[in-house]
Amino acid sequence: MPSMAPLSGGSKDGTGPGGGAGLPFGGRFGPPDGGSSGGDAAGKRKAASALPEARGNKRQAILDQRRALPISSVEGELVNLVKKNDTLVVIGETGSGKTTQLPQFLHAAGFCKGGMMVGITQPRRVAAITVATRVAEEMGVEVGKEVGYSIRFEDCTSASTQLKYMTDGMLLREALLDPLLSRYSLIVIDEAHERTIHTDVLFGLLKGVQKRRQAASTASTSSKQKAPKTGDSLKDLQSLLATSNTPAVKKISPLKLVVMSATLDTKGFCEYFNGAEAVYVQGRQFPVEIFYTFTPEADYLDAALLTTFQIHLEETPGDILLFLTGQEEIESMERLLKERASHLSQNVQKLLVVPIYAALPSEQQMRVFQAAPEGTRKVILATNIAETSLTIPGIRYVIDPGLVKARAFNPRTGVESLEVVPVSKAQAQQRSGRAGREKPGKCFRLYTEDLFTKLVATTVPEIQRCNLANVMLQLKAFGIDDVLGFDFMDKPSRISIVKSLEHLYSLGALTDEGKLSDPIGVRMSRFPLEPMYAKAMLISCDMGCSEEMLATVSMMSVDSVFYAPRDKLQEANNARKRFISVDGDHITFINVLRHYIQEAEEAGAEAGEGEGTSSNSSANENKKAFKRIRSWCSANFINARSLRRAVDIQKQIRGYVEGMGLKITSCGEDMLSFRRCLAASFFLNAARRQLDGTYRALSSGQSVAIHPSSVLFGKKPDCVVFNELVRTNRSYIRNITQVDSLWLPELAPHYYAAQGVGTPSQQQS
């Protein structure tokens, strides 16, 4: 039986909700919300100053904030519990200080002695960066030194790092290189309630590592080598340990685990971790008044826009948090809000719009934590990153359209898609809770109360609704061949495991015996990319167009390259024309990236020419270059943030390719070769036009349509390969290039010889 001891660190506060406002909502109170919790006055952060005195004040302010957090009064108890237990489950409402404080407590308690680290996993990049930056600030160190973070395509750690925040996916990659995670004394799995696919895989792996570290520590004391146990799903790792049980690892200490969750529902965690103890850190919570719409909203974006301005014009001071589904939606809302806000009358307070989503550059991510200037209301446009991962101070109003973008997988067809789906009740409650951390707040749900009651209670773990190819490739790379027998907390269905293995087999990553193939599978597992992209990189090296594939994969890894404001559609379309390739989106993206890099180089050179001797003038020149690139981007309606990130990703993947001893070569203007390479790489995502003009995905038989954002929209090519399937009211394919249907059986004979590509007329019959 798992036990659950409440630790009291704060007090319940506040009285009942206040009266309804003049908004177009039901004005009824929703069900009592368990989401919001304790806090501090973090919102009033002072601007950094070079004056030591001001810095001293700032440190004092941070210290005061830390002390005010509910978790700080139970530091000693928590540390003792961690020391006493192999695995501890910590529950605490969002904002109670779990992520930023507990690792510091562990640091102070000596868990980082002797060169050991405490690792803290986060499901999202943004959280890893912002939290590490905050903790570094609290500890008075530079981020990247004692406190660092590691995310895909960005490692901000050093030899002196002791507290390491990282995405759960990055810890998985580290475990590939160091199966015992020997530099970590303790791993905190944060945001466990989110149950991301990587978190779930980590659960199983870390349980295994714990067992082996335990075995290794007793083996080293008895100085006798234990024979690897058989029948264990991780037995290969175990034998790996046996063979590597040399003096180098003989003094390894057991690995401790802390599983942290923002929701109470932790029975599953405790049972899974062999009856682990759970503690509850109490938070402070203010009441949040819930409003629903009377009738369903036809256009939730429009409703969100209206609601934002209604709050702004009618409600008392306090920032607004609006949940949206993704970068594109956030960016268009940002433009709309700014545009409308510019028409506000002079005597109304200003509105400051701040976006936050994963792909946003880190400097800009930090802006959400800065308090708005006096007399200004901040409205934060966020993905569900702000649901529990980030605690943003100052929020009193939450607008929740009730939607989230989620991965969905059809195990029958093997097709994964991104879908906008309704949130779960638990998510809706977490979202509304964000309004009541510092004061009583209000949450405006842009749906009816009746709909709320029909929402599912909690979200299905990602592992049960996504393409498992990547996970299976990683498990195979760990030497775990019996993937069906892996110790999952919630097992994915057998059919989705089998489908993903078939997928890997079609890509050549697995042998006939189901083992990782060498070198293809081994190399694929090294890339921080989806298996299909990893394979594409390998194929392109053979086909002499790796430079082009590198650009493609980088551009596919960022969201929304182009944007088109509603009022400037024609202008945006005209600008886009200069990049368009009649062959499709991939080459169009390559053109964009090439032009961007050229522009950046020219801007750099121009800045270099005018460079003076003082650092001041070179900073000015840099600024000038930066400005030139920005204006080039806006003139071409190109997302500067996305392009910067793409260049960064390109650099990293280049490193991986070269690290494998492979060559990056360009096919120059020979785009025919490149399209053949695209067909060879993405043959699993091919579609053919039918007689009636619709398309049929060849691997699944599903009927699909070309997405309006594609340059091939309205062009009706006979055969295409695509990279993304988006499902709204129908299924759309995106990021498309036209190929010759005869290339498919030629370049992927193992797949198409059996299935046959056929001609459209044959398929009709």
Residue from 99, 210, 464, 474 touching ligand CDP (CB under 6 A): that is 99
Residue with tokens 């160190």: 141
Residues 24-63 that bind ligand CDP (CB under 6 A): 39-40, 42
Q: Which stretch binds ligand CDP (CB under 6 A): 130-138, 251-259, 297-305, 446-454?
A: 130-138
If one asks whether residue 91 binds ligand CDP (CB under 6 A), the answer comes out as no
Nearer to Mg ion among residue 388 and residue 731 (C-beta): 388
DSSP 8-state class, residue 242: H
If one asks whether residue 101 binds ligand CDP (CB under 6 A), the answer comes out as yes
Contacts of 5 (CB under 8 A, 6+ apart): 277, 278, 279, 280
If one asks whether residue 98 binds ligand CDP (CB under 6 A), the answer comes out as yes
- Integer Cα distance of 386 and 434 in angstroms: 8
> How many residues bind Mg ion, per CB under 5 A?
2
Strands 719-727 and 184-189: unpaired
Cis omega before residue 519 (within 30°)?
yes
- Integer Cα distance of 62 and 76 in angstroms: 20
369 contact, one of ligand CDP, Mg ion, none, CB 5-8 Å limit per kind: ligand CDP
Nearer to Mg ion among residue 283 and residue 414 (C-beta): 283
Nearer to ligand CDP among residue 97 and residue 441 (C-beta): 97
Nearer to ligand CDP among residue 398 and residue 720 (C-beta): 398
If one asks whether residue 503 binds ligand CDP (CB under 6 A), the answer comes out as no
**Least Cβ distance, residue 100 to ligand CDP (angstroms):** 3
If one asks whether residue 467 binds ligand CDP (CB under 6 A), the answer comes out as no
**Least Cβ distance, residue 386 to ligand CDP (angstroms):** 11
**Least Cβ distance, residue 21 to Mg ion (angstroms):** 31
The 367-386 site mask, x for binding ligand CDP (CB under 6 A), equals: --x-----------------
95 contact, one of ligand CDP, Mg ion, none, CB 5-8 Å limit per kind: ligand CDP
If one asks whether residue 123 binds ligand CDP (CB under 6 A), the answer comes out as no
529 contact, one of ligand CDP, Mg ion, none, CB 5-8 Å limit per kind: none
**Least Cβ distance, residue 184 to Mg ion (angstroms):** 19
If one asks whether residue 639 binds ligand CDP (CB under 6 A), the answer comes out as no
Written as six digits, the tokens of 242 are: 């046996």
If one asks whether residue 103 binds ligand CDP (CB under 6 A), the answer comes out as no
- Integer Cα distance of 582 and 102 in angstroms: 55
If one asks whether residue 387 binds ligand CDP (CB under 6 A), the answer comes out as no
97 contact, one of Mg ion, ligand CDP, none, CB 5-8 Å limit per kind: ligand CDP
DSSP 8-state class, residue 58: H
Nearer to ligand CDP among residue 71 and residue 593 (C-beta): 71
Q: For residue 452, give the nearest of 229, 569, 236, 293 by alpha carbon.
A: 293
**Least Cβ distance, residue 562 to ligand CDP (angstroms):** 31
393 contact, one of Mg ion, ligand CDP, none, CB 5-8 Å limit per kind: ligand CDP
Nearer to Mg ion among residue 283 and residue 717 (C-beta): 283
Written as six digits, the tokens of 409 are: 């997988």
Q: For residue 317, give the nearest of 397, 381, 390, 382 by alpha carbon.
A: 397
Element (H, E) at 608: helix 585-609
Residue from 100, 162, 554, 588 touching ligand CDP (CB under 6 A): that is 100
If one asks whether residue 167 binds Mg ion (CB under 5 A), the answer comes out as no
Residue from 10, 326, 393, 717 touching ligand CDP (CB under 6 A): that is 393
Residues 134-193 that bind ligand CDP (CB under 6 A): 134
- Integer Cα distance of 467 and 676 in angstroms: 26
If one asks whether residue 261 binds ligand CDP (CB under 6 A), the answer comes out as no
The 87-116 site mask, x for binding Mg ion (CB under 5 A), equals: -----------xx-----------------
Residues 332-371 that bind ligand CDP (CB under 6 A): 369
Q: For residue 732, give the nearest of 710, 760, 701 by alpha carbon.
A: 710
Contacts of 260 (CB under 8 A, 6+ apart): 89, 90, 91, 92, 98, 99, 102, 188, 189, 190, 191, 192
Residue from 9, 95, 103, 745 touching ligand CDP (CB under 6 A): that is 95
Q: Name the amino acid, one letter, at 342.
A: S
- Integer Cα distance of 661 and 664 in angstroms: 10
3-state helix, strand, coil in the chain (%, to 5): 45, 15, 40
Q: Name the amino acid, one letter, at 96.
A: S
- Integer Cα distance of 277 and 261 in angstroms: 13
- Integer Cα distance of 713 and 10 in angstroms: 57
- Integer Cα distance of 721 and 698 in angstroms: 10
**Least Cβ distance, residue 369 to Mg ion (angstroms):** 14
**Least Cβ distance, residue 98 to Mg ion (angstroms):** 5
Written as six digits, the tokens of 493 are: 């269905």
- Dihedral (CA of 503, 509, 512, 513) sign: negative
**Least Cβ distance, residue 341 to ligand CDP (angstroms):** 25
If one asks whether residue 97 binds ligand CDP (CB under 6 A), the answer comes out as yes
Measured at the alpha carbon of residue 111, what is the angle toward residues 107 and 113, in degrees to the nearest 5?
95
**Least Cβ distance, residue 65 to ligand CDP (angstroms):** 7
> How many residues bind ligand CDP, per CB under 6 A?
19
Nearer to Mg ion among residue 10 and residue 584 (C-beta): 10
- Integer Cα distance of 297 and 304 in angstroms: 10
Q: Which stretch binds ligand CDP (CB under 6 A): 77-85, 126-134, 566-574, 696-704?
A: 126-134
If one asks whether residue 238 binds Mg ion (CB under 5 A), the answer comes out as no
If one asks whether residue 394 binds ligand CDP (CB under 6 A), the answer comes out as no
- Integer Cα distance of 238 and 234 in angstroms: 6
Q: Note the Cα 458 to chain centre separation in Å.
A: 20
Helices (H) and strands (E) in the chain, counts: 26, 22
**Least Cβ distance, residue 388 to ligand CDP (angstroms):** 6
Residues pairing with 691 in the sheet: none
Nearer to ligand CDP among residue 192 and residue 549 (C-beta): 192
Residues pairing with 320 in the sheet: 379, 397
Q: b vs e for 197-207, b when ≥16 Cβ sit within 10 Å of the residue's Cβ? A: bbbbbbbbbbb
Residues pairing with 91 in the sheet: 261, 280
Q: For residue 288, give the nearest of 94, 539, 516, 563 by alpha carbon.
A: 94
Residues near Mg ion, by CB under 5 A: 98-99
Residues near ligand CDP, by CB under 6 A: 39-40, 42, 69, 92, 94-101, 130-131, 134, 369, 391, 393
